[in-house]
């Protein structure tokens, strides 16, 4: 069986490594990996895989155990909260 997939130019650029032509269209698992690496946005992933709605994309991501909130995101959020707390404490001391 042969499947042909037209990839919009803006998506092809995200799939290519620096200095190389884009590879063949990725499979669902490799497209999910590109999404995990944040090389594709949710919208780009939807277009690439032909998923018509955000809700169906969410179901696809859940089915393939693709987490959109990473440990790195958690660490960044924690650092931000600590910074805000320290700033507020410093402002209270000055008041």
Q: How confident is the model over 54-91, as pLDDT tens digits?
A: 999 999 998 888 877 778 888 999 999 999 999 999 99
The model's pTM: 0.50
Q: What does the block give as tokens for 71?
A: 């440990």
**30-61 pLDDT per residue, tens:** 888 888 888 888 999 998 888 999 999 999 99
Q: How many angstroms separate the CA atoms of 33 and 39, rounded?
A: 9
Residue 82, SS3? helix
List, in sequence order, the alpha helices (H) in 1-95.
9-15, 28-36, 42-49, 54-63, 71-94
Burial of residue 24, with CB atoms counted within 10 A of its CB: 0-12 exposed, 13-18 middle, 19 or more buried: exposed
Domain ranges of the chain: 1-64, 69-95
């Amino acid at each position: 069986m042969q499947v042909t997939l037209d990839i919009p130019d803006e998506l092809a650029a995200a799939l290519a490594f620096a200095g190389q032509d884009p590879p063949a269209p990725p499979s669902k698992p490799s497209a999910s990996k590109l999404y995990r690496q944040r090389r594709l946005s949710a919208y780009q992933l939807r277009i690439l895989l032909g998923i018509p709605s955000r809700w169906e994309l969410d179901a696809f991501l859940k089915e393939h155990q693709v987490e959109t909130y990473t440990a790195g995101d958690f660490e960044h959020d924690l650092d931000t909260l600590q910074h805000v707390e320290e700033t507020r404490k410093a402002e209270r001391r000055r008041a």
